[in-house]
Amino acid sequence: MTTEQIIFLIVAGATLASGLLVVTSRNLIHAALWLVATLFGVAIVYTLLNAGFMAVVQVVVYIGAIAILFIFAVMLTRKDMRDSGAQLNSNWWAGALMAVLTFGGLFAMLRTWGGMSKTAAEIPAGFDQIAELGAQLTSPEAYVLPFEVASVLLLAAMVGAVYLAFNKK
């Protein structure tokens, strides 16, 4: 087992553990903080995949913004700091069953899929991922439309959220 594999196993284990804590924590703030830990773990997984940009973006977007948004939303929708009562609904067993089935199904599919043994090619020397990303995002031959549409999506989200949450009517 190589060093990288050991690191991956540790990170993946910790990430999944904190993921479990996200969905089981009683205290929502704790759940949100565990989410931060999970997302940080995912960021480390990105670095293992040589996708440094994705890792940084993960931290910037998820930890820097989405986690904060979650915490603010929790503060806005909670009367008392301590959570009481069950955090799982009455159908939680069905949900758990579905989750296990999903994992089982995906795992079974992965086992039968032929592409698993694929090995990663070395990233060519001097290949600038970010520049290539920028080129593809702006090229009319590639992803310029998704690029602009993303902006529209964000606009819609912003306008929609502002309108929904705080319409004075």
Partner 1 sequence: MNEWLYVLLFMVVGAIIPIGAIAAGFIFGPKKPNPVKRETYECGIEPVGEAWVQFKAQYYIFALVFLVFDVEAVFLFPWAVKLGALGIYAVVEGIIFVSILVVGLIYAWRKGMLEWV
Partner 2 sequence: MNFWNDPLKVAAEWLEGVFVGWGMNEIASHVLVVFLGVFLLVLILMVIDIFLVWIERKVVARFQDRIGPNRLGPFGLVQPFADIIKLIIKEDTTPDGADKVVYNLAPVLSMMSVLMVWAVVPIAPVMLSVDLNVGALFLIATGAIGTLSIIMAGWSSNNKFALIGGFRQVAIMVAFEVPMLATLMIPTIFSGSMNMNAIITAQDGLWFFVLSPLGALIFLIAAIAELGRAPFDLAEGESELVAGYSTEYSGMKFGMFYAGELLHALTFGGIWSILFFGGYRFFGLEQVSPFLAILIFLAKALLGYWVIMWVKYTMLRIRIDQMLVFNWVFLTPLAFALMLVTALMNALLKDASPWLYGLGMFLSNVVVGWIAIEIARSVSRKEREKVEGVHQVAEAHH
Partner 3 sequence: MTTENLIWLIPLPPLISFALIVLFTNKNKALSHTVAISAAFLSWLGAMIVFVRALGVEHFGEHPFASSINWLPTGDTWLKVGVLIDPLGAAVLFFVAWTILMIFLYSVGYHNFGQPAGDHDHAGLPPHGATVHGHTVLSVEPMYSRFFAFISLFAFGMFTLVVSDSLLTLFVGWEIMGLCSYLLIGFWYAKPSARAAGIKAFMTTRIGDVFMLLGIAFLYSVTGTLSFREIFTEEILHTLASVPSGVFGLSAAGLIGLLLFIGTVGKSAQFPLHVWLPDAMEGPTPVSAMIHAATMVSAGVYAVIRMFPLLSMDEKTMTVVAFIGAFTAIFAATIAVAQNDIKRVLAYSTISQLGFMIAALGIGAYVAAAFHLITHAFFKALLFLGSGSVIHGMEHGVFHTGNHKVDPQDMFNMGGLKDKMPITFWTFLIGGFALSGFPLVTAGFWSKDEILADAWGHHHYIVFATLAIAAFFTAFYTMRQITLTFLGSPRTEEAKHAHETPWTMTTPLVVLAFFAVTYGWVGIPEHFPVLGPLVNNNWFHDFVGHTLEHVPEAPEFSWIPLLTSLVVALGGLGLGWFVYKDVKSVEQDKFQISFLKNKYYFDELYEVVFINPAYWVAENVIYKFMDQGVIDGVLHIFGPVTDKIGSAIRNYFDVPVVNQFIGDGSAEVAWWFGKNLRPIQTGRIQQYFILSLVVIFVVGGLLYYILTLA
Q: Which residues bind partner 1 (CB under 8 A)?
A: 4, 44, 47-48, 50, 52-53, 55, 57, 60-61, 64-66, 68-69, 72-73, 75-76, 78-81, 128, 130-135, 137-138, 140, 144, 147-148, 150-152, 154-155, 157-159, 161-163, 165-166
Coil, strand or helix at 155: helix
Q: Rounded to whole angstroms, how far apart are CA atoms 38 and 12?
A: 9
CB of 160 to partner 3, least distance (A): 12
| Residue with Cβ nearer partner 3 (61 or 101) | 101
CB of 167 to partner 3, least distance (A): 13
Q: Output the DSSP codes for 111-141.
A: HH-GGGG--PPPPPTT--HHHHHHHHHH-TT
Residue 58 contacts residue 41 (beta carbons within 8 Å): no
Q: Rounded to whole angstroms, how far apart are CA atoms 168 and 20?
A: 38
Q: Rounded to whole angstroms, how far apart are CA atoms 128 and 120?
A: 17
Name the site residues for partner 3 (rule: CB under 8 A). Answer: 89, 91, 94-95, 98, 101-102, 105, 140-142, 144-145, 159
Name the site residues for partner 2 (rule: CB under 8 A). Answer: 3, 29-30, 33, 36, 52-53, 56-57, 59-60, 63-65, 67-68, 71-72, 75, 81, 128-131
